[in-house]
């Protein structure tokens, strides 16, 4: 019989150890670093190293999710990879991942695009596949080597990283967090876009806030609470999409979400906006710390525009992922720019 609910049975992440500070970028452009940092609430961002792209980041995150769950990869029969920066315009990241991870060859595979919510869109699809009984285990991945035009406001926050969520039936002994409910709120709002042959995205300035991010996050948040008859005071952890630190903080203030509810998944100040991986990475941080029976609320956002909302219940205490032993290294702006140019070559 199909499972009534699906659950996260494993999770993983990949955040490159290479960083560039907002101060370093601001000084290059003759800007006041404190003004930029104060405006964004971001101090530094993670950047991909030589030879790293959305595929390699996704592979590392997915491998960690499989390894920590202890589930043979041949039992996984679906993988959806969400990204704004797939390595190929025509050649799926998901099929490369399925082969590299040694998933079952009879697998559902597809690449997803919906700006920064492509990773959570994949989680919704996997959730539906598991609940229908079509598959037993599936992977949803958000991964990006985010792009920004030199000198653009996005350059201060556009980061690199990946998060992988391995999903199975809620009655599986390995189940960590049950997916209680999910919904989406979507409109045609052109706040951020990249044309087919353009190397960098464009955006509508302040309109990325209203009616973009704020409208969609508000509506999705209200919607999930209404559908599930849940009060915000019943939620232990809240993760909102983090294009910077200011936007989610504003939503938190409007809805009276406390600092304690936000703090575990609020990672943007030290890694930047990892686009499709952003809110899933926040969720991975929460899944490591949350306790049995605690409730988690996640609301993603993707320009264009839409938000996915999820309500989870922890079925057991979270467990820490293996510690990343790689040292954090900082690069100059010139080194960073050279790295970005190689990626676009």
Identify whether 253 is part of a domain: yes
Identify whether 161 is part of a domain: yes
Indicate if 124 and 211 belong to the same structural domain: no
Indicate if 35 and 148 belong to the same structural domain: yes
Indicate if 253 and 223 belong to the same structural domain: yes
CATH number, domain containing residue 63: 3.40.47.10
Identify whether 240 is part of a domain: yes
Indicate if 147 and 45 belong to the same structural domain: yes
Identify whether 87 is part of a domain: yes
Indicate if 160 and 238 belong to the same structural domain: no
Indicate if 129 and 28 belong to the same structural domain: yes
Indicate if 244 and 167 belong to the same structural domain: no
Indicate if 186 and 133 belong to the same structural domain: no
For the full predicted model, state whether its pTM sits above 0.85: yes
pLDDT digits (tens, 9 = 90+) for 120-177: 999 999 999 999 999 999 999 999 999 888 999 899 999 999 999 999 999 999 999 9
Active site residues: 84, 116, 241
pLDDT digits (tens, 9 = 90+) for 262-297: 999 999 999 999 999 999 999 999 999 999 999 999
Identify whether 255 is part of a domain: yes
pLDDT digits (tens, 9 = 90+) for 292-304: 999 999 999 999 8
- The model's confidence at residue 194, banded by pLDDT at 50, 70 and 90, is confident
Residue 129 tokens read as 């596949």
Domain range spanning residue 79? Answer: 6-175+323-344
Q: What percent of the chain has pLDDT over 90?
A: 87
Q: What percent of the chain has pLDDT over 70?
A: 94
Q: What is the count of structural domains for the chain?
A: 2
Indicate if 64 and 86 belong to the same structural domain: yes
Torsion of CA 301, 211, 40, 148, to 10 degrees: 70
Identify whether 1 is part of a domain: no
Give the chain's radius of gyration (CA, Å): 19
Q: At what angle do helices 214-228 and 246-255 cross, to 10 degrees?
A: 40
Identify whether 307 is part of a domain: yes
Indicate if 334 and 297 belong to the same structural domain: no
Question: Mind spelling out the 3-state secondary structure of the chain?
Answer: CCCCCEEEEEEEEECCCEEEEHHHHHHHCCCCHHHHHHHHCCCEEECCCCCCCHHHHHHHHHHHHHHHHCCCHHHEEEEEEECCCCCCCCCCHHHHHHHHCCCCCCCEEEEECECECHHHHHHHHHHHHHHHCCCCEEEEEEEEECCCCCCCHHHHCECEEEEEEEEEECCCCCCCEEEEEEEEEEEEECCEECCCCCCCCEECHHHHHHHHHHHHHHHHHHHHHHHHCCCHHHCCEEEECCCCCHHHHHHHHHHCCCHHHHHHHCCHHHHCECHHHHHHHHHHHHHHHCCCCCEEEEECCECEEEEEEEEEEECCCCCCCCCCCCCCEECCHHHHHHHHHHHHC
Indicate if 232 and 212 belong to the same structural domain: yes
pLDDT digits (tens, 9 = 90+) for 85-100: 999 999 999 999 999 9
Indicate if 237 and 329 belong to the same structural domain: no
């Amino acid at each position: 019989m199909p499972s009534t609910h699906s659950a996260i049975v494993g999770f993983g992440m990949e955040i490159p150890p290479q960083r560039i500070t907002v101060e370093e970028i601001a000084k290059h452009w003759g800007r006041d670093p404190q003004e930029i940092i104060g405006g964004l609430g971001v101090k530094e961002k993670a950047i991909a190293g030589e030879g790293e792209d959305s595929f390699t980041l996704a592979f590392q995150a997915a491998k960690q999710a499989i390894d920590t769950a202890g589930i043979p990869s041949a039992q996984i029969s679906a993988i959806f990879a969400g990204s704004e920066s797939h390595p190929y315009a025509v050649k799926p990241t998901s099929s490369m991942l399925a082969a590299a991870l040694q998933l079952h060859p009879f697998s559902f595979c597809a690449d997803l695009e919906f700006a920064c919510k492509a990773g959570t869109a994949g989680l919704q699809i996997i959730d539906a596949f598991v609940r229908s009984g079509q598959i037993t285990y599936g992977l949803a991945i958000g991964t990006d080597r985010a792009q920004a035009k030199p000198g653009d406001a996005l350059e201060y926050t556009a980061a690199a990283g990946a998060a992988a969520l391995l999903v199975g039936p809620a009655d599986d002994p390995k189940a960590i967090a049950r997916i209680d409910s999910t919904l989406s709120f979507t409109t045609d709002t052109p706040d951020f876009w990249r044309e087919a042959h353009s190397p960098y995205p464009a955006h509508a300035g302040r309109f990325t806030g209203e009616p973009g991010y704020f409208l969609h996050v508000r509506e999705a948040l209200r919607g999930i609470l209404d559908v599930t008859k849940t009060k915000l005071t019943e939620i232990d952890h809240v993760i909102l999409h983090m294009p910077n630190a200011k936007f989610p903080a504003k939503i938190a203030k409007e809805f009276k979400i406390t600092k304690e509810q936000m703090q575990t998944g609020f990672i943007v100040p030290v890694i930047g906006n990892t686009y499709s991986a952003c809110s899933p990475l926040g969720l991975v941080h929460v899944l490591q710390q949350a306790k049995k029976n605690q409730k988690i609320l996640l609301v993603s956002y993707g320009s264009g525009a839409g938000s996915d909302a999820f309500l989870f219940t922890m079925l057991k205490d979270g467990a820490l992922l293996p510690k990343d032993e790689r040292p954090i290294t900082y690069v100059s702006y010139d080194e960073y720019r050279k790295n970005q140019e190689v990626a676009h070559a």
